[in-house]
Structure 1
Amino acid sequence: MKIAVVVNLSKEKAISCAKEIAILFLGENADVVMLSECKPFYKGINISYVDTIDELFGCCDAAVTAGGDGTIIHAAKYAAVNNVPLIGVNVGRLGFAADLEPDDIGRLKKLVNKEYTTEKRILLDVEVNKDGETKHYLAVNDAVIARGQFSKIIDINLYLDDEWIAKYRADGLLFATPTGSTAYSLSAGGPIVAPQTDCIIATPVCPHSLHSRSVLFDGSASLAVTVQIPADCCCLLTVDGEKNVDILSEDTVKIKKSELCLELISLRKRNFFKLLNEKLKEREM
């Protein structure tokens, strides 16, 4: 079995945690592969290296991240494209998406022995139509259309299956997966949704109305957005906090459930809402 280990090299704790993970897997006769940028940190350990993250996920049977939720979200896109199951070890602050904490690393032996279950999570296909060209982006958590550096409230038109359904005056409009319901969507006042639910959450960001609330759309919904702003201004589409795209008044952004899905490995039975309460208490500390 070949296991990819993805490390957040900006966190010293993640570097040491990944070393422990690699040694555990090697002791279980599994092959470990990492990105070549990790090589200076793991000298003397029998780890294989590849140059790109595409190669990393293209050659492995499963993947483990050592970092926070951001590390998991970044790796998740490649895991979904390559149909690779993924598990996170949380060395960040909250770790909503992670299954394990550093003290639980010993449980990873179950991964080698294939004693685990997986949870399928939906992803969003975010399509941008600009200047006659179409580009697609994959969202694990959310896609947000916001005013960016434009200082005024913006008017956002929302369409469902090509039919206009609503107009929001707000700082922005956020679309989230159930996995992303505990991220930016939660901070914007959106609902907490069980992660296996098949739906798309739309939440206005700082709406200029007491009646603008989150809406849950069925997973089969095809949504589209246009913005009304001055011709010399632009809004910003942000996908998972990583990718930024300027959106003009003549552009259209379409959001639907992706044909790809993310498989998250679970090595223990967990009550999502009990875990959520624990994590939210940590956030308040």
Structure 2
Amino acid sequence: MNDNVNYHSPQRTVNYQRRSVSVGESSLQTCLDDGFEICGENQTTKYALNIEQLDENDYICAPLPRSNNQPTAKTCWRARSAFAPSPKSNFGPKGTLKKVQNNDQLIQRLHWISPPYNILIIRKPGPQTMPEFRELILKLLKRRLNVYIEISEHMHLPFATDIELKEHAERCHAFDHENDFFKIDLIICMGGDGTLLHVSNIFQKSCPPVLSFSMGSLGFLTPFDFKHHEKILNEVVSGNVAVLLRTRLKCSIVKGLKRQSLSAASLLSTSSDDTTNEETNKHTNKDDKISHLALNEVVIDRGPNSYLSNLDLYINDRFITKVQGDGLIVSTPTGSTAYAMAAGSSMVHPNVPAMVICPICPHSLSFRPIVVPAGIELKVKVSEETRLTAWLSVDGRNRHELHQQDCVHITTSVYPVPSICRFDQLGDWFESLADILHWNLRKSQGRLDGSHSPQHDVQLHEDQTKKSSSTETTSSST
């Protein structure tokens, strides 16, 4: 064989929808294009670097003094941190975290600056929870606490005919979303997971501690039983409870440049005087950027359209891939056991600082869900090649239509939802996996000798007693 012979084959020009510049080249090229000097570091002299902040995410290192006519420091842009932003440690006007060693999240405890006084109760709509709802209101009012309920609930409660409610009616208030937002010390949920999502939708910034009673259909996020509510309330008011900080995603919708210019021009052409111009400008500014906080997930899908969604995915302003399918789910660890789990993603513990990116029915065999650090910034852009519009929803609500060149920026919010735990952060999650989702439920394997373990005999006896009791009830009913 002659080593000098070159065998040429025709090159295939296939667009694999990958980024054109590697991660290392992008940051280096940025430094070179901006005219920064990249020089060697002086190993003999130690200097304190002066850090200057240019904006929220970018820092630049000031150059150090020269030694032997050579610069001793390099100046370049700092990459975004992969760590999640530190969450706010104040939850409402009186809730905070008790100081623990090493800031261990698994032993975080609730601490009250002063005893809670204003309690907001939100229940699942319907007559099923009304008796417990009335009972809880009366017990809190008898403790001489201020109780806030939603306006619709306040209108339907019989304050005029119920003697007990009428006696304490002056401390039961209708909750005003604008004026009473910063008064609430504690939130009590009576319902399922959707009730907790409703609370997250109401408190779009700092959220007070949330005590959730399971009175809904699923109850994965609601660990407490209402039968023991008096004991639970005493422990919560004293502050002797564990708390889990459920991270949320901040979702910002930014319209494309063409749509911004067209909408501004149309609105300005229709306006006749200066006052209407100011109103239209305010209107366009509100529409140009819309923000929501998501406890479960942000979903961008094709909605009622029959064509595939065509989305461009960026991470920290770097193009990653093109999404062609029914849509894309960006989930929190809390939402990883919701829609993302149904779409095939992994379940992530809520204490893990991460975001889950999960495609919905992708038209590709190799597009699998991934878990990324919580400190990055995602950008989902409606591609220019899309045939129809896309639709965005936050926690199954707040639906918005996205047109070509519209962008959705998704980051980790600094405002978590502090959920009060029944046991601790680990115990509640694994108990919900086993009891609610029946995780890894399987008939146990038998021994080689054919005998059964004592646990198997006990389980068999329990199953037989259940069957006998059920047959007795059916026979008695007939």
Candidates 356, 369, 388, aligned match of 1:214: 369
Task: State how far apart, in whole Å, the 2-side matches of 1:77 and 1:196 are.
Answer: 21
Q: 1:197 aligns with which of 332, 352, 374?
A: 352
Other structure's SS at 2:352 match: coil
Is 1:110–1:267's contact at 8 Å kept on the other side of the alignment? no
Aligned pair partner of 2:254 in 129, 132, 155 = 129
Give the equivalent residue in structure 1 for 2:183.
59
Greater helix fraction, Structure 1 or Structure 2: 2
Does residue 1:71 correspond to 2:228, yes or no?
A: no
The letter for the 1-side match of 2:134 is K
1:220-259 alignment to 2 at 5 Å?
220-228=375-383, 233-259=388-414
Gaps of 5+ in 1: none
- Which range moved further: 21-30 or 55-64? 21-30
Look up the match of 2:234.
Answer: 109
- C-alpha distance in 2, partners of 1:223/1:231? 20
Residue-by-residue CA offset, 1:60-118 (whole Å, 9 max, x unaligned): 21111112211111112434623411121121111111131333323222222222222
Residue number in structure 2 paired with 1:161:
316
The one-letter code of the counterpart of 1:108 is L
| Aligned residues: CA RMSD | 2.2
Q: Identify the match of residue 120 of structure 1 among 199, 224, 245.
A: 245
2:151, 2:253 → 1: CA distance?
Answer: 33
Q: Does the 8 A contact of 1:79 with 1:262 survive in 2?
A: no
Compared with structure 1, are the counterparts of its residues 263 and 202 closer, same or farther at alpha carbon in structure 2 (3 Å cutoff)? Answer: same
TM-score normalised per structure 1: 0.91
Deviates more, 1:116-125 or 1:18-27: 18-27
- Which structure 2 residue ranges, 5 or more long, are not aligned? 1-116, 261-287, 442-478
Tell me which moved more, 205-214 or 56-65. Answer: 56-65
Which deviates more from structure 2 when the two are superposed, residues 114-123 or residues 237-246? 114-123
In the superposition, relative to structure 1, how do residues 21 and 192 fare at CA in structure 2: closer, same or farther (>3 Å)?
same
SS, match of residue 145 in structure 1: strand
Matched, 1:30 2:145: yes
Partners of 1:123 and 1:261 within 8 A in 2: yes
Q: In the alignment, does 2:401 pair up with 1:275? A: no
Separation of aligned partners in 1, 2:325 and 2:386: 18
Distance 2:121 2:185 in 1: 11
Give the alignment's TM-score, normalised by structure 2: 0.56
Q: Distance in 2 between matches of 1:164 and 1:175?
A: 16
Other-structure match for 1:17 = 132
| Contact kept in structure 2, 1:224 and 1:254, CA below 8 Å | yes
The 1:77/1:154 distance shift into structure 2, 3 A limit, reads closer
Which whole-Å CA distance do the structure 1 matches of 2:204 and 2:394 have between them? Answer: 16
- Percent of aligned positions that are identical: 26
Residue 25 (structure 1) shift: 2.4
Q: C-alpha displacement at 1:32, in angstroms?
A: 1.7
Q: Please tell me whether the aligned partners of residues 156 and 226 of structure 1 are also in contact (alpha carbons under 8 angstroms).
A: yes
**Distance in 2 between residues matched to 1:225 and 1:231, nearest whole Å:** 13
Q: Call closer, same or farther: CA 1:267–1:19 in 2, change over 3 Å.
A: farther
Higher strand share: 1
SS in 2 for 1:73: helix
| Aligned AA (1:279) | I
Deviation at 1:50, TM superposition (A): 2.4
Mapped to 1, the partners of 2:177 and 2:223 lie a distance apart of: 22
Distance 1:231 1:182 in 2: 30
Question: Contact (CA 8 Å) 1:34, 1:48: kept in 2 or not?
Answer: yes
* Structure 2 Cα separation of the partners of residues 212 and 119 of structure 1: 32
Using CA pairs under 8 Å that are at least 6 residues apart, name the structure with larger relative contact order, 1 or 2. Answer: 1
SS at match of 1:92: coil
C-alpha distance in structure 2 between counterparts of 1:220 and 1:236, whole Å? 25
